[in-house]
Structure 1
Amino acid sequence: MSNCEFGTSTVEYLGHIISAQGVAVDPVKIEIIRKWAKPKTLKGLRGFLGMASYYRKFVPNFGIIAKPLTNMFKKDSFVWSPEAERAFEELKLSMTTTPVLAQPDFDKEFVVECDASCLGIGVVLSQDKHPIAFLSKTLAHKYLGLSIYDKEMLAVVYAVQHWRPYLLGHHFKIITDHRTLQHFLDQRITTPAQQKWFLKLIGYDYSIAYRSGPNNVVPDALSQQAELMSLMGVSTPIFKFMEDLQSLCENDAETRTLIDEVQRSPATRKNFTYRDGRLYYKGRFYVPEIAQWRERIMKEFHEGKEGGHSGWLRTYKRVSRNFLWLGVKKMIKIYVSECIICQQNHYEAVAPPGLLQPNPIPQGAWLDISLDFIDGLPNHEGMSTILVVVDRLTKYGHFIALSHPYTAKSVATAFVHNVFKLHGMPKTMITDRDPIFLSAFWKSFFALQGTQLCKSTAYHPQTEGQTESLNKVLEQYLRCSICEKKGNRPDMLPWAEWWYNSTYHSAIKMSPFQALYGISPLTIQTYMPGTTAVHQVDLQLRDRDERLKILQHNIQLPQNRMKVYYDKYHTEREFAVGDMIFLKLQPYRQSSIQKRKSQKLAPRYFGPYQVTAKIGKVAYKLQLPASAKIHPMFHVSLLKKKLGSSVVPRPHLPPILDSDKSHWYPNKILDRGMFKKGNSAEIKWFVQWENSIEDDATWMNADEFMHKFPDFKT
């Protein structure tokens, strides 16, 4: 009973209104045509006439009625006159009268024509190319992001469901201008969306045919009506900066003169054009010759969020997309090169500065020596460090085992017991900047002996390359010997020292033993009895002096070769006293500097600082802040000249650890454990260090920990 109506004079049935007067067309079916808004553009008018022309054979005198509308397609003739208004309304009336809208014949095949645009969908129900009903609908916001395929399917499903009373139980044809849909019934269903559309069409008997867009006139016009287009809100941003710049150009006398020349004789200013109240140079907005405005543009495109402190080329490309002026590239190069932030943080894409400066050739054996430590070796009988001492002339070396931790006093004692008693005190001693060699005890002790202490420049251990190279050779020897199980490390040190000193050295063209003593080292199996003692002494001394000259010459040759090779990959860089210099410090690579919380993004350079003196050819002394505890002498590879005249606050240097204190100090013990070591076990503590997180904690031998930090409360 819910589908029945009683006591009514009209009833809607299958798209028609049945009344006492007869059967009439349902107004809903023709409402889209009747409410078609007046076209405001040629595109809108072309869409309406395209749809109307599709049914022109059903409209008597169609060409005559539409004449005022078709005349508007002539050049500059789009004027909506009263005649055009009458023609527009008459066409809508003719298309919605009964002779045009046919009555459905259920013995004939129905045709559903569909189309979808970015804004809406339009569909037509017809038989024998005679329209029965029109329908269009704007797309809801949630459907605007669908693909073209899904929008076209949405139009098909919407039409079929809306005209279900006509189509259900009868075969009908669906026509679309989307070629892929014609294979909808044959293709494999691969997406949830396809499955959803397929389920909605189950129960209908239909086929899908393709018709190209230009031929699918009516649905296309319905899906792109003018009123649908008007729903799009379009806003045009107004840039205050561009308005100010345009106003500046109009008020600047030189720019105004240039604009007049461009307007008066464009041929004389070929690269300039003037349109819409703006002056363009090579198609880009011309910026007047006013320093503050050009600098403002460069600053925005270089230092702004979209600039990101890029290099000069990227900055130039970004600026030149919209702005241009004479000499813009050169000006951007200078601006970027003088940017303080870039100077402090950018990598230098150049060969490392500083040519090789070989140390002076010593004048005698054991007058000039070098020292270094090999740390981190396996602990054996309390010994875990080797002190390496090398004579710079003969390359003769001594390897001394030390227990860890060691102090300046214990190292000095080992030096006296193993080196001084054999060769005396040297004139010069080259070391790195280890806290032992920087301690007050070490300095005072050797100052009293008359020895000059020469330390490497700050954060440039390459100054003492000789001992660093020997360390690698010694570690290799010990590593190979341990692998062959020839003995433990302290037992091997004397053999390692003999092996090194008796082995041919490429730098001096002989063994260090022969260079020092003037004779080749004897093998254990060979015994050579001496002859007349006085005669041998005379010959040996003569031979020794001759070998000394040869030795100095042979050392000079590899130094020259090394300098040529080294300088090939390095550049020369010099500064003058008074220059302002940026200083490169990398605390995460130097153990004497505390680590920063954010090492990766910390500035690469500090400063600028003034050069106070030039030390040699590749070292400079800087005027550091009074609070700095870094040695003020630096190798040229760590320095970079400040460009530009701008003054910026100097960032604080990173904190420096006191040389008399441990590089690390424990914060707390996180865990304790027992670990197997050979045939025994050892106790280790899991230690979190100061200024570090728990993830950086390390295991440390408990006895070594208590020996190194006796005051720490566990």
Structure 2
Amino acid sequence: MSVSSLQFIVETDACYLGVGAVLMQEGHPIAFISKGLSGKHLTLSVYDKELLALFMAITKWSQYLMGSDAQLRQDLIKVWHNSTMGGYSEMDNTFRKLAGLFYWKGLKEDVVVYIRKCATYQRSKGDHAAYPGLLQPLQIPYTAWSGISMDFFEVAQLFMDQVFKLYGMPENMPPLHLPYMPDEAIDEEVDRRLITKKFKIQLLRFHLARAQPRMTDMANKHKSDRQFQEGDWVYLKIQPYKQVSLSNQDFNKLSTKYYGLYQVLQKVKKVAYKLSLPEQVAIHSTFHVSQLKLCYVILDSINHPPIVDIASPYCSEPAKILERRMIKRGNKAVSQLLIQWKDMSPEQIICCDFLNFSWVLICAFFGCDEVSDDDDLLEEDSLEFDQGFENILVVDNLPVVPKEKFEKLEGVVRKIYGQLGVIKEGGLYMPVDPETQKTLGYCFIEYNTPQEAELSKEKTQGYKLDRSHIFVVNMFEDIEKFLNIPDQWAPPEIKPYEPGEMLLKWLTDEKARDQYVIRAGNDTEVLWNDARQLKPEHVYNRLFWTESFVQWSPMGTYLATIHRPGAAIWGGATTFERLMRYVHPQVKLIDFSPGERYLVTYSSHEPSNPRDTHRVVLNIFDVRTGKVMRDFKGSADEFAVGGTGGVTGVSWPVFRWSGGKEDKYFARIGKNVISVYETETFSLTDKKSIKVENVMDFSWSPTDPILSLFVPECGNQPARVSLVQIPSKEELRQKNLFSVSDCKMYWQSNGDYLAVKVDRYTKTKKSTYTGFELFRIKERDIPIEVLELDNKNDKIIAFAWEPRGHRFAVIHGDNPRPDVSFYSVRSGPNTGRVSKLTTLKGKQANALYWSPGGRFIILAGMKGFNGQLEFFDVDELDTMASAEHFMATDVEWDPTGRYVATAVTSVHEMENGFNIWSFNGKLLYRILKDHFFQFLWRPRPPSFLSKEKEEEIAKNLKKYSKKYEAEDQDVSLQLSEQDREKRKKLKEEWEAWVNEWKRLHEEEKMERERLRDGEASDEEEEYEAKEVEVEEIISVTEEVIPFEESQQ
């Protein structure tokens, strides 16, 4: 029988016919093996047969000779890592060397595990993990001065050194910042101040508890948690004295970074451990976790832990700081100290980093009993804090419970308020009385958004937990505001009335000009359109006036700007003073009512839970007072078109206003309902919505409280368009439609007509065609006419009513150059039906822009047509002009219909700016602006004149026009005079320039004569004219002539 602890010997032999082997221990045979040879083995040489015998023996007795596979793998890795051939190379090099000769499954993993357990490797290699040791927040004190930071000691030391040592203790140190209190009011004032102080301390504790998680998370972003157990063996890193000095030596990579092994004796704190160090080591035995690294070596294989003598080279104390210097390390400046050490020669003077030196000086040489958990925060990322407390609630009148019932009460409160919004982590805080260890009857709740906090306050105000506990909920900012209310009432300061600029003053411009606003870059500017002078006139400009866009009110009285806290309106002709602010955080869109009495603001907020939809907030403000008349809050689904869409389904404006200046009604669409509100009470008319199954869209008449509704087909129910009178909700007219694919409604500006564009399916359901249903609203029984194009398969590209007129235009066709048709719906003798006026063939147009006064229209080719413009007179059915504004994105008529602006906004990177044209297509002037965003004409209010007066003025227009023609002539003469003055000035400058050179010529004449020996070279007229003839051979031709001909 073999003994595994003894050496094995294998002897082999080979002959012509076979091979054999014997396994022996201490000269005694243990096993035999032999094998006869045949076939190709018989032809092998003697040496090959000997090798074959050895291979057979090793294969047969591998369990005795080779050991286990695991041991063999360990031996191979040890040879290629620990030996002189390996040189303790890193993991990748060791693996490449082994993989070139050997292979087994899990080779790389075995190499990684072995090298990790290599003691030499662990002591020599740095720790590449994130900085070990998480931040340990300090306990929040219950009273002031119960916990003092290091800053207090520094102040005290400064007082002792600079005051007490030089001048002694002051006889009187009165308290600072205490106001005077009369004797008779001291008791009441002290009670009040103590109560206020107690509450403010609770507020401070809440703020600290609220900030601690954020600060901890930020501090731990680049840290890792590392913990040890008592009895673990660890390596110790001694920093930074001699270690730092090695950065300038030749063999820095060969220096040992860790020493040990040392055993963990005690866990002092979560990030501090006490080690079992040798007695001769004169440093403190408590270390921060960042200085320790766990040993992976199996402890059974270590009888006596190796002790590295770290005392002799590293325990010397600093004797003197010789010099301080700054060096560049990477992209940072590092401060270093030149230190002379005790018991060391002057040649051993070394430089240490200032921060590292301070750390070791405190922790290693002066024996700190405890290691601070946050002293390692030498440089951290900057923290970002919330800018306000709008998302924090204070809930009062909670039960006062002992510590045992605290978790139960917290769970109840969290359940109630967690349903109304997302409470931040650590956002529920209940103050506790330190003496009784009972809650104080109120708590703080922090939500993700202010909107959630507002909703929770609204929903839980007066909530009955039981008979004795009815919630009183306030916003945190309101509590602070209440605390700052003075005890003594003081009458408000009455500011003297300062009349501002008249808001409609811009309408009284002597030149009857219009204003417009432009935004380019960060600049917003208001200008007069001075077409006579062929240039704009500056009115007002301001940098960073708005954060997103500007918007005129419908009658031009106000200019609205958008900001993060909300919206603001400005007014006037030249001063543009701020008139009112409307608080709505993160507002994104605004909309005025037609009469400018109300302003609707909109914002959407991302949910904290990705599965939820966006939260929508809408406020309706009174424009003049800034008061919120009604707010609407909910998920995006509730405000989506038809109540079925997500955030993209919310169409703007959400609320649509009825026509007219009264601003009496506004409405929004919901799921199977149209909700109509009246502005007198801002509640639903008749306290209920209009139920309309599957309603898809609606629109108000521009002048009357009439709603047009579109309901698509559903099952066997046909689609229909209905007209509903408000507030009676009476259906005035209805039209059923069949095979409908889509439907769009277009009101004429006076509310006289309604055009319904209906896209219908063909019989095969594979394509669609378009027709129009025309409603005559002001006629009896509201008759309806059907209009189909000559080619009903034409695609409708654009449709537009003539403002205050009876005509409309349609762009139709499938070709790159569609057709434009004009129709009239005027009622009268023999004109009771819609009639086509004309069709313009093959136009480069895809948009229609009627003049506000009617008659004139621009056929615009936007986008793919690159800004083609055709100015067309519909009365004469004639093109007045054709022009181009390359890459134009916007076309805007001024409110009078005299001028039109085309603009190229920043959607294009080139040619940003705008052009101003006359109504008949004449380019007046062009302005280029980089990063151009907006161009908006200032609207005008409706005319104050009666219809009869307007007709009278139109009838006698020639009489009034003489005045303006004379003014135009004066302007023309002025421009001509300006041109003459300009040419005269240029001529005078030219003559002055010529005369100056003539003067210089005369001044240099004497010098020229001197250089020419008195001859006046300027007057030399002696010359001789010679005529020279020059002959030039142009071509040479050779011709052979016969001899006979030459004789003749």
- The two structures have a TM-score, normalised by structure 1, of 0.33
- The two structures have a TM-score, normalised by structure 2, of 0.23
- Of Structure 1 and Structure 2, the greater helix share is in 1
- Of Structure 1 and Structure 2, the greater strand share is in 2
